[in-house]
Amino acid sequence: MIEGLKNAVLDGDVDKAKEFAQVAVKEKVDPLKASTQGLVAGIMIMGEAFGRGEIFLPELVMSADALKAGSVFLNKEIGKLGLEKPTLGRVVIGTVAGDVHDIGKDLVKILLSANGFEVIDLGVDVSADQFVEAAIREQADIVGLSALLTTTMRYMPVVIKALKEANSPAKTMVGGAPVTEHFTQEIGADGYGFDAQEAVELARALIGKKRWRQPPTKPTIPGDH
């Protein structure tokens, strides 16, 4: 089953990915395991092949499409794992400007939701102004930034600076393949999640440190002078 999901991604076969994901759900296979060891394992192999120049971008796109098709069914099941838990805090999350990678960000979102966080997903290619506006509007406890490119990770400090300038009390959490602990400290983010599970643990730790309830100073919405 898990091998079938992986092969569906390797072949860029949307129908097979849907079919195997539906069977996995029906047979009550652990959805997180099916996602990470099946779909995600497949895309990582394709990513390495792409990096070595062995496959072309359209093939990578087809594999990503197959992964997304299978994820629809598995993510629904992952989300159900924590339905009864109380809300721990509110997280605004997005992939930073210039970057359209959302598979990892979506996994983080789903695991945060499954573990009792309320998550507002801003999607991909999100500007600093959009992050700031949402953080203030939603009274976010945490703002989560994802980046998959070495170029776009450089936009993370721009968002962090904008949040500070707007006096947002939200803690910042960063992640994505090129992001490191060292980079996190360099840009002044509050924490780094290596993977989705670590992101949940980090969010739990950050939530205890600062809450919106008593903002130190009045936050400023961009353009609101």
Burial class from Cβ neighbours inside 10 Å (0-12, 13-18, 19+) for residue 129 reads middle
Sheet holding 142-146, edge to edge: 117-121, 89-95, 142-146, 171-175, 191-192
CB 110, min distance to ligand B1M, A: 10
Instruction: For ligand B1M, give the closer residue by CB, 24 or 119.
Output: 119
Whats the size of the chain, residue-wise?
225
Element spanning 175, H or E: strand 171-175
Q: Could you tell me if 153 and 173 are in contact, meaning their C-beta atoms sit under 8 angstroms apart?
A: no
Residue 172 near residue 145 (C-beta atoms within 8 A)? yes
Do residues 207 and 142 lie in contact, with contact meaning Cβ atoms separated by under 8 Å? yes
Which residues sit at the interface with ligand B1M, rule CB under 6 A?
Answer: 40, 43-44, 46-47, 50-51, 57, 60-61, 64, 93, 98-105, 107-108, 144-146, 148-150, 173-178, 193, 195-196, 199
Q: How far is the CB of 198 from ligand B1M (least distance, A)?
A: 7
Q: Taking the complex as a whole, how short is the minimal distance between the CB of residue 16 and ligand B1M, in angstroms?
A: 17
In the bound state with ligand B1M, the residue whose beta carbon lies nearer, of 93 and 114, is: 93
Q: Which is nearer to ligand B1M, 107 or 160 (CB)?
A: 107
- Shortest Cβ distance from residue 83 to ligand B1M (Å)? 21
Question: Which is nearer to ligand B1M, 108 or 126 (by Cβ)?
Answer: 108
Query: Could you tell me which residues come within 8 angstroms of residue 147 by beta carbon, excluding any fewer than 6 positions away?
Result: 95, 96, 99, 101, 153, 155, 156, 174, 176, 178, 179
Q: Closest-CB residue for ligand B1M?
A: 104
Q: Which residues pair with residue 121 across a beta bridge?
A: 93
Of 9 and 214, the one with the shorter C-beta distance to ligand B1M is 9
Q: State in angstroms the smallest separation of the CB of 152 from ligand B1M.
A: 7
